[in-house]
Chains A and B, each alone.
Chain A
């Protein structure tokens, strides 16, 4: 079980941690399931949100057009975005008219194989989607790399120190300044459970 870090923050201060969602967090998912199932079942998004709000998806750097035809494996990286501007933004959109422009970096997919064991998938949540779902995901809890979490806490420490109403590691309260130290004691890539509570 990963160590559990809980941070008490006022809701308006949650965005201080949003960069973590863009740099990548991890969820436990049914490796082998199709992308749509992972987004709905494991990430907790609604069918409508997956259909309407997620317009651009990269699976390990390749553009995904059909959410039912690709199957992220354990260790995969999924990047999720709203509709993007620019010719390339349009060409990256799922099933867009300009898919031909990026033909060589389109995911050809791999057949879903339901029933395989669970694994960890890395999610990057970009632009409007961070604003729309970031707070909910942080309240539900995510898994984050200790190194990335430490880097962000260090970058934002002046604001976080003011904002944090409490910090707990595995249920024991520590001072905000000790959080950086504790995170620094972990291996860079070690996954920790991170969740936010409103004081």
Chain B
């Protein structure tokens, strides 16, 4: 993994070149995507213009024998937020790309006309081929056409119709071990940037692509074993996630009164139990579906699954918590079959489920359809995927849709829709929504290692100062973790088991021949955040962009009657380390 593949789509004869890593040596995942975007993309460029670049980078340990290290980072200037973006995906892509020796693919330049291309990468070389016959193919149609090429040892990275139409809500899809396009770098419209370059699909041929070897094989093997054991032994990563998937959170967040319902009108959804992870698992089991499944090989947590219909036919992957919330409680839909259908359509067209669900919630509040209208929601997603005039408005995201209907109540930060936790009930996460360079993002402050890393020292966890401090520490830790290729869910085992955290650091050191400490991990996270915030500043962002919408301060959330009351001064302290 010592080279970058640059694909220039400009001119009559688009092509690619390989370069050594150079100044980007030692970086992976988000660290690499944000560094390339920060250095090479003019911050004031149009996200769909020729100056923007799409950077696709596996993590530092992807492609090795490390467990749960298959995350892929996709970075660019975001068409949705106008700021820097790193969206993150599971699936097979990171591991195959890393095994082929690439630290990153950079898509750049200005395509001529509306040409579409398929980029093919294998051990025997790279080709960029015109593919006019794939125009307006969905992701599953691409799978049908191209699966024989990538097979079980390879992967496909692709855009559906949304990316091809360059909609601000559009994803980059990554195939899972079955070759299905079920994993997505979802947030921020990264698919539109891939679409603007005319790259419809990237086929990664894993044939003759060897597993990456660590510098210190014995130490790596030992650390990997300890790390995997730590994940298996932990009650969340070893039991809860596998049994119910991430949707196990529905009942709990709802119980806390933090479950955004009816477009963030209230924090409690009366029918939450019907769409909970427990109900979902029971339904899947009764129909013969899988409740345990890894989104990539080498996953020990197995938090994914397969949702099948009453006849046992595949409908979609097991919808994640965020998806079930966005299309479920947020839209008043309590039918798991309808939610799974919406999940499939999102995957097929290449749409971010959070943005889609939040957009439909706004459309429901605007009176376009009733809350709870599952068929209406399915039809709206079809309009987006087919590119009708209405679909193009909805596909431009939650903020644009609210603007089109003259509404204030758009639950967004930096134009990106908030995920499934109401920031009035859980103010600490509101701090992260407000201040993350990525826009409202639940994963931006997700990695829970700050108790070990002590990034900012000891604070009172119940004070508002503590919430600012926690958000800062979590954002720093997450930025670092996003560079490794590790799934964020390892964070729970790291939180509770210091020996598992140590095993993770030992793995990185043994693999790369380093002697990193927790402080180095913290410094890496800070460095990434500095790069990202610097880009956003140059793109015109100010402290005023690090705010929640005003109505979150004004409208009290039931049942706790809570408003978001962190002061602007407190929010502005997050990055003053």
Binding site for B on A (CB under 8 A): 15, 18-19, 22-23, 55-56, 58, 61, 63, 79, 81-92, 97-106, 124, 126-128, 130-131, 159
Chain B: interface secondary structure?
Answer: helix
0/1 per residue, B217-261, Cβ < 8 Å to A?
000000000000000000111011101101011011101111000
The answer on a CB contact under 8 Å between B467 and A124 is no
The answer on a CB contact under 8 Å between A106 and B462 is yes
Kindly provide the distance from the CB of B15 to the nearest chain A CB, expressed in whole angstroms: 44
Which stretch, B16-24, B85-93, B277-285, B336-344, touches the partner chain A?
A: B277-285
Answer whether A61 and B252 are a contact pair too, CB < 8 Å, given A22-B278, A105-B426, A127-B240.
Answer: no
Q: In B409-430, which residues have CB < 8 Å from any A CB?
A: 421, 425-429
Contact pick for A92, options B256, B286, B463, CB 8 Å: B256
Residues of B in contact (CB 8 Å), total 57
Which 8 A-B residue pairings sit nearest by Cβ, starting from the closest? A101-B428, A100-B461, A100-B466, A97-B451, A79-B255, A58-B255, A83-B235, A102-B426
* Bound: A159/B310 CA distance, A: 14
List the B side residues contacting A22 at CB < 8 Å: 251, 273, 276, 278
List the A side residues contacting B459 at CB < 8 Å: 100
Tally of A-B residue pairs with Cβ under 8 A?
Answer: 156
Answer whether A85 and B240 are a contact pair too, CB < 8 Å, given A22-B276, A61-B255, A61-B559.
Answer: yes
The answer on a CB contact under 8 Å between A88 and B470 is no
Does B442 belong to the interface (CB within 8 Å)?
A: yes
Does B571 belong to the interface (CB within 8 Å)?
A: no
Kindly provide the distance from the CB of A54 to the nearest chain B CB, expressed in whole angstroms: 11
The answer on a CB contact under 8 Å between A19 and B279 is yes
List the A side residues contacting B253 at CB < 8 Å: 88
Q: A58-B252, A88-B258, A124-B255 are in contact. List 18 more A-B contacts (CB 8 A).
A: A22-B251, A23-B273, A85-B248, A85-B249, A87-B446, A88-B426, A90-B448, A90-B491, A90-B495, A100-B428, A101-B429, A102-B426, A103-B463, A104-B425, A105-B256, A127-B248, A127-B278, A128-B240
* Bound: A58/B460 CA distance, A: 22
Answer whether A88 and B249 are a contact pair too, CB < 8 Å, given A15-B282, A83-B235.
Answer: yes
Contact pick for B244, options A15, A58, A127, A159, CB 8 Å: A127
Query: Which partner residue on chain A sits nearest B257 by CB separation?
Result: A61
Kindly provide the distance from the CB of B423 to the nearest chain A CB, expressed in whole angstroms: 10
List the B side residues contacting A97 at CB < 8 Å: 448, 450-451, 461, 495
* Bound: A97/B477 CA distance, A: 15
Kindly provide the distance from the CB of A78 to the nearest chain B CB, expressed in whole angstroms: 10
Chain A to chain B contacts (Cβ below 8 Å), 22 pairs: A61-B257, A61-B560, A81-B251, A82-B239, A82-B240, A87-B429, A89-B252, A90-B448, A90-B492, A92-B252, A92-B256, A100-B428, A100-B462, A103-B427, A103-B461, A103-B466, A103-B467, A104-B562, A124-B255, A127-B277, A128-B239, A130-B278
Binding site for A on B (CB under 8 A): 235-237, 239-241, 243-244, 246, 248-249, 251-253, 255-258, 268, 273, 276-279, 282, 286, 303, 321, 421, 425-429, 442, 445-446, 448, 450-451, 459-464, 466-467, 470, 474, 489, 491-492, 495, 559-560, 562
The answer on a CB contact under 8 Å between A83 and B252 is no
List the B side residues contacting A18 at CB < 8 Å: 278, 282
List the B side residues contacting A105 at CB < 8 Å: 256-258, 425-426, 560, 562
Answer whether A102 and B461 are a contact pair too, CB < 8 Å, given A19-B273, A84-B252.
Answer: no
* Bound: A61/B562 CA distance, A: 13
* Bound: A113/B366 CA distance, A: 50
Contact pick for B428, options A55, A89, A91, CB 8 Å: A91
